[in-house]
């Protein structure tokens, strides 16, 4: 997958974009015709005429209100101009737009296209294929295309599904639903956010402020050329990962920043007790993580080591995604041909010297070469470590250590010790009495975790610790804690040696957070708010319901007979989903997605798959998509949107 992200076409695209952001790049729509230079009165020049005063513009206003459900979806595509989004408590969207141009013909050819229903509104500015160049020349500017600035007032909990701009800034205030917004050339600012957020910009600063963090709502902020600032509540709980190629990383929580040997900076850690995943990326620019001035106690934080065996995976998931997704996907979404043509013409119009272009290109290519060398070094280190471990296992096997077995169980703690084929094992068991629906946190540094639901008001675990020698075994500890109905069972190792396998029984209605750095996860018969995460391994869920979030860096995901909301993600592997879902999101980097639902189900599929979805037993018709990069299909009469994204695999629908 890393090779796919760094192929020749992508590298060329990065170079082109970096040139535009080097300080001599294209003039954005907002800078080409600055707001302060616009005349306040509408000047009607007539078709083909020029305004009588060089500072005057012709203008046209658009004001309409459309009904939209309180949690309806909003999409915007705008080539030239900014978008401001405000919220209110009405089930409607108010669209206020102003078109600006220096010539009536340019004003007329820019069309505002609105496609709306009670569940979805899509707003797009259409231009003809020609005349898409900007110039500041006194007379030539009359041929500049029109700029369209939008102010949208949307329901407070509406889903901002796709806000995509090329030349213009985005300003979002008070949105409580999920937000996905991007700009090629422009600032992205969002305040008062509560839900899932995916924000990106290529040339411009990005600033996001969250009023509250939700454990089930991930956050992603990405930039290529421009600073990234994240503001969260002082007492936040979160898992944070940040990386840059050229640019520093700073934070108010005391998390450590690791500097690359040649290029790059990384930060990884837990704020408070952990919670939603926050991923921040930048290529040429700094990242700043700060807390609100809310008077609350600042959460403690724990930095996480990025060991050698994880470097390859980090580069694969962070560098590739930051470059490939933030650049290739966003530029493609804005229509690659148009953007490339605009960039070329803008460079000509601003008279960028050839030497400046060559210097910027050399800088980008040098950074990419250094990043590639880091990848190769990491791969070599991983390979050496694997070979060392293999030699060590052969040596231990030849040593012919005496075989033995041992076990121990009991209420409280019971232990037994022995060795088998060179591996020492020890077990311990403990139970906790709880009431109601407890909150249970389970984690291990290395090993499988199995969780069963039962009808007892108890949380019981059995930990099986394994190591190659007694010293390593002693370094493995199981930390437990109970506060009321909150129970934590965490396995750790002083040297990250050995493994700790956990088998846990919990009440059938529980709030669960289960994680393993390297191992499979299995859940059987539990309902509630559930989060399952593993760095490398399969995830299986059987039965239960509620709100489920599963994530594995590399492995298969299988969910069977589940009822409720599911968010399933894997870096590399197939996803199989079977149940009755009221909300669904599935994403795999390289694998197929299989979805089985009751016959007669009604929902909408949104996918990035190029090929037609394979359908077995369901009624399916094509629907209006929010942007050109995705497709939508109504299943039955349509309804809630299920997002299924796969890198290269197929999507197969089944009925039962």
CA-based torsion, 136, 140, 144, 149: positive or negative:
positive
Rounded (5°) CA angle 218-220-225: 175
| Nearest by Cα to 322 from 284, 364, 360 | 284
CA 161 to chain centre: 14
Extract the tokens encoding 603.
């929902």
In sequence order, which residues have a C-beta less than 8 Å from that of residue 483 and are 6 or more positions away?
none
Confidence of residue 645 (pLDDT cuts 50, 70, 90): confident
Rounded CA gap, 505 and 486, in Å? 14
CA–CA separation, 497 and 131 (whole Å): 64
- The pLDDT assigned to 646 comes to 86
Distances (CA, A) of 271 to 88, 237, 240, 275: 32, 5, 7, 8
Q: What angle do CA 593, 596, 598 make, to 5 degrees?
A: 155
* pLDDT on residue 386: 54
> What are the φ and ψ backbone dihedral angles of 484, each rounded to 5 degrees?
65, -120
More confident residue, 15 or 451: 451
Handedness of CA 397, 399, 400, 401 (dihedral sign): negative
Q: Which tens digit of pLDDT belongs to each residue from 60-77?
A: 999 999 999 999 999 999
Residues 6+ apart with CB under 8 A from 77: 122, 123, 124, 125, 162, 164, 627
pLDDT for 400-424, tens place per residue?
Answer: 443 333 333 334 544 444 444 336 8
The token pair at 443 is 């984690």
Mean pLDDT of 493-502: 86
CA atoms within 13 A on the CB side of 214: 15
Question: Under DSSP, is residue 629 helix (H, G, I), strand (E, B) or coil?
Answer: coil
- Rounded Cα–Cα distance for residues 392 and 434 (Å): 44
**What pLDDT is stored for residue 408 in this prediction?**
36
Q: How confident is the model at residue 337 (pLDDT cuts 50, 70, 90)?
A: very low
**Joined tokens for residue 453:** 């639901």
Mean pLDDT within 1-27 = 39
Q: Distances in Å between the alpha carbon of 253 and those of 277, 289, 302, 545, 603?
A: 16, 8, 9, 35, 42
Whether the CB-CB separation of 304 and 268 falls below 8 Å is answered with: yes
For the question of whether the overall pTM of this predicted structure is more than 0.75, the answer is no
Contact (Cβ atoms closer than 8 angstroms) between residue 469 and residue 425: no
pLDDT of residue 327: 44
pLDDT higher than 80, residue 11: no
Distance CA 126, CA 111 (A): 5
* Beta pairing class for 486-493 and 439-444: parallel
pLDDT at 513 over 60: yes
Of the chain, the percentage scoring pLDDT greater than 70 comes to 71
Topology adopted by domain 60-308: Pectate Lyase C-like (2.160.20)
pLDDT digits (tens, 9 = 90+) for 374-390: 555 555 555 555 555 55
Q: Distance between CA atoms of 199 and 188, rounded to whole angstroms?
A: 8
Considering only 30-34, 224-228, 598-602, which range has the smallest mean pLDDT?
30-34
Q: Reduce the DSSP state of residue 537 to 3 states and report it.
A: coil
What is the distance between the alpha carbons of residues 163 and 334, in angstroms, rounded to a whole number?
11
259: left (phi over 0), alpha (psi -120 to 50) or beta: beta
What 3-state class would DSSP assign to 7? coil
Share above pLDDT 90 across residues of the chain, in percent, rounded to a whole number: 52
Domain layout of the chain by residue ranges = 60-308, 401-510, 520-656
Strands 265-271 and 287-291: unpaired
């Amino acid at each position: 997958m890393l090779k796919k992200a760094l192929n020749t076409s992508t590298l060329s695209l990065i170079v082109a974009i970096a040139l535009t952001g080097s300080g001599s790049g294209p003039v954005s729509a907002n800078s080409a015709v600055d707001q302060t230079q616009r005349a306040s009165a509408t000047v009607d020049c007539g078709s083909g005429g020029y305004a009588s005063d060089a500072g005057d513009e012709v203008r046209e206003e658009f004001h309409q209100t459309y009904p939209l459900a309180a949690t309806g979806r909003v999409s915007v595509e705008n080539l030239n101009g900014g978008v401001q989004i405000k919220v209110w408590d009405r089930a409607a969207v108010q669209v206020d737009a102003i078109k600006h141009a220096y010539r009536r013909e340019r004003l007329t050819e820019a069309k505002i296209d609105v496609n709306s229903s009670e569940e979805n509104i899509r707003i797009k500015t259409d231009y003809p294929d020609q005349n898409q160049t900007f110039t500041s020349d006194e007379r030539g500017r009359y041929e500049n295309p029109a700029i369209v600035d939008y102010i949208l007032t949307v329901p407070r909990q509406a889903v901002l599904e796709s806000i995509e701009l090329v030349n213009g800034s985005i300003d979002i205030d008070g949105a409580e639903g999920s937000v996905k917004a991007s700009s090629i050339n422009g600032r992205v600012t969002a305040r008062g956010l509560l839900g899932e957020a995916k924000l990106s910009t290529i040339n411009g600063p990005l600033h996001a402020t969250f009023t509250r963090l939700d454990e089930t709502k991930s956050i992603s902020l990405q930039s290529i050329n421009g600073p990234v600032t994240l503001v969260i509540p002082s007492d936040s709980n979160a898992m944070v990962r940040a990386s840059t190629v050229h640019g520093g990383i700073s934070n108010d929580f005391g998390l450590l920043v690791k500097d690359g040997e040649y290029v790059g900076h990384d930060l990884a850690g837990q704020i408070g007790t952990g919670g939603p995943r926050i991923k921040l990326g930048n290529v040429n620019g700094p990242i700043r993580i700060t807390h609100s001035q809310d008077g609350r106690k600042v959460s403690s934080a724990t930095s996480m080591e990025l060991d050698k065996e994880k470097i390859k995976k980090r580069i694969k998931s962070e560098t590739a995604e930051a470059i490939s997704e933030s650049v290739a996907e966003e530029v493609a979404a804005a229509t690659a041909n148009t953007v490339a043509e605009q960039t070329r013409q803008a460079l000509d119009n601003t008279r960028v010297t050839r030497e400046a272009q060559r210097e910027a290109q050399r800088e980008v290519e040098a950074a990419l070469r250094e990043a590639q060398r880091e990848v190769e070094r990491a791969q070599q280190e991983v390979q050496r470590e694997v070979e060392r471990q293999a030699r060590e296992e052969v040596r231990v096997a030849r040593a012919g250590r005496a075989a033995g077995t041992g076990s121990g169980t009991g209420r409280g703690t019971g232990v037994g010790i022995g060795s088998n084929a060179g591996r020492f094992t020890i077990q311990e068991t403990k139970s906790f009495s709880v009431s109601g629906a407890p909150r249970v946190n389970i984690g291990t540094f290395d090993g499988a975790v199995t969780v069963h639901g039962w009808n007892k008001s108890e949380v019981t675990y059995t930990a099986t610790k394994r190591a190659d020698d007694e010293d390593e075994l002693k370094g493995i500890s199981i930390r437990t804690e109970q506060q009321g109905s909150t129970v934590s069972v965490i396995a750790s190792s002083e040297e990250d040696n050995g493994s700790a396998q956990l088998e846990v029984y919990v009440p059938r209605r529980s709030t669960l957070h289960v994680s393993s750095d390297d191992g499979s996860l299995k859940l059987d018969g539990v309902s509630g708010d559930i989060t399952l995460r593993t760095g490398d391994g399969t995830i299986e869920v059987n039965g239960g319901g509620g709100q489920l979030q599963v994530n594995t860096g590399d492995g298969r995901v299988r969910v069977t007979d589940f009822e409720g909301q599911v968010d399933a993600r894997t870096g590399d592997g197939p996803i199989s989903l079977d149940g009755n879902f009221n909300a669904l999101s599935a994403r795999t980097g390289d694998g197929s997605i299989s979805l089985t639902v009751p016959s007669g189900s009604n929902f909408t599929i949104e996918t990035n798959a190029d090929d037609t979805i394979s359908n077995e037993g369901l009624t399916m018709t094509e629907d209006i998509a929010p942007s050109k990069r995705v497709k939508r299909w109504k299943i039955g009469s349509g309804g809630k949107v299920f997002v299924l994204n796969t890198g290269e695999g197929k999507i197969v629908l089944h009925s039962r």
